[in-house]
Structure 1
Amino acid sequence: MEELAGEAGITVRTLRFYRERKLIPPPRREGRIAWYDDDHLARLRTIAALLERGHTLSGIAELAEAFEHGRDVGELLGLGAPTEETPVRLSPEELADAFAGQATPENFAAALDLGYLATDGTDLIHISRRLLDTSAALVREGIPLADVLAAARRIREHADALAELFTDLALKQGHSTDDLQRLRPLAKSVVEAELSMAMDRRLGQLRGE
């Protein structure tokens, strides 16, 4: 226990508290000896990352329970399932391979916080095949995963604002929610075209044009 606490940068007292709250799984026992492994250390580092992001211990306990019982972390965080995106099931090893060793506890916590990842037993569920593939491609281009996730949070804010703008515009004209579902491809086309032109303008500025 002292060795694990030292590796995690916490006190033994804190570690005991986490065990009592069932934030980490029990150790493997051989007689009077309790053995902790890398999984325990990874869990402690994830807890630390979640605490830094403002999560409470009660909330983290719910996430820990989700890992143990295969509940949906996205549901716990209040995020609904996507209607158009295709979720991807993958193992922790496959996730690590996809991001070239950058699937750190801190990045894992950030992905949980965004609702990109959920759990199903021992597997992980990524909320969107497109987001997974695009994020992995950006990492392969040399952009750190931490920066990709930070950018995703900012993009989420702008995307929410655009969705609110478009839905308010349609609802103001008396359209129903069923109409909004039918009209959403039009909203996506406008956003894609505007983003394309914005990229053109930005590249022109960088080139001094």
Structure 2
Amino acid sequence: MEELARLAGITVRTLRFYRERKLIPPPRRQGRIAWYDDHHLARLRTISALLERGHTLNGIAELAEAFDHGRDVADLLGMDTPTEETPVRLTPEDLADRFAGEATPENLAAALDLGYLGTDGEEIVHISRRLLDVSSALVREGIPLADVLEAGRRVRAHADALAELFADVILRHAPEEDLQRLRPLAQSVVAAELSLALDRRLRKQG
């Protein structure tokens, strides 16, 4: 415990307090000896970084619980499913910096529930760089992250319906393996239709 506290730059008393608050997982016991490892040190450094960014211990505890019970990134991505999306590995500090005060336990729980975020050891993984960049850009424009995530939830339902429609059309006329080859065509149709829909919306408002 003394060695871990020294490496983390905190006192043993603070470390005991974090343990009591369940901010770090319990050590591995071997007889009367408690062994800590690099995962404990990474968690302590994350706690210190989040405290410096204005997060409270209660908020950090809720974040830790959310990520400890979050889905593994392998479950989210599917090891055998091809994807065009690029996952992004983040530390909790990176996530806090991207979304400033919007990285609340409630918003992160919603992102975990949507499957945008997964965990890989001490790292957080966002399933899509494009979605991460867009959502953080919207937050920088003053749109609350909660509203961005709710919009994502509603878009997900429409996207699932569009994917099913496209798959049905293809499978009526081509083998299943053509789905992957022809997916750019479906994406082009959706992008064009969304662009036209935005044009109609802007004309209506004008």
CA distance in 1, matches of 2:23, 2:140: 34
- Is the partner of 2:119 in helix, strand or coil? strand
CA contact under 8 A between 1:79 and 1:115: conserved in structure 2? no
Distance 1:194 1:144, change over 3 A: same
Q: Report how many aligned residue pairs link the two structures.
A: 157
Which residues of structure 2 form unaligned runs of 5+?
Answer: 1-19, 28-46, 48-55
Give the corresponding residue for 1:123.
Answer: 123
Give the corresponding residue for 1:140.
Answer: 140
CA distance in 1, matches of 2:59, 2:96: 17
Which residues of structure 1 form unaligned runs of 5+?
Answer: 1-18, 28-36, 51-62
Q: Which runs of 4+ in 1 moved over 2 A?
A: 22-27, 37-47, 63-66, 78-82
Give the corresponding residue for 1:200.
Answer: 199
CA distance in 2, matches of 1:144, 1:46: 22
Give the corresponding residue for 2:78.
Answer: 80
For residue 80 of structure 1, report the CA deviation from its aligned partner: 3.0
**Which residue type is aligned with residue 95 of structure 2?**
L
Give the corresponding residue for 1:64.
Answer: 68
- The one-character-per-residue Cα deviations of 1:162-194 (angstroms, maximum 9, x if unpaired) are 000000011112x12210111100000000000
The TM-score with structure 1 as length reference comes to 0.66
Distance 1:45 1:97, change over 3 A: closer
- The one-character-per-residue Cα deviations of 1:104-155 (angstroms, maximum 9, x if unpaired) are 0001000100111111111111101100000010001110000000000000
The TM-score with structure 2 as length reference comes to 0.67
After TM superposition, list the pairs within 5 Å mapping 1:167-206 onto structure 2. 167-173=167-173, 175-206=174-205
For residue 160 of structure 1, report the CA deviation from its aligned partner: 0.1
Percent pairwise identity: 66
- The one-character-per-residue Cα deviations of 1:43-88 (angstroms, maximum 9, x if unpaired) are 44776xx7xxxxxxxxxxxx6366xxxx71561xx66366100000
CA contact under 8 A between 2:86 and 2:129: conserved in structure 1? yes
- Is the partner of 2:189 in helix, strand or coil? helix
Give the corresponding residue for 2:100.
Answer: 100
For residue 42 of structure 1, report the CA deviation from its aligned partner: 3.3
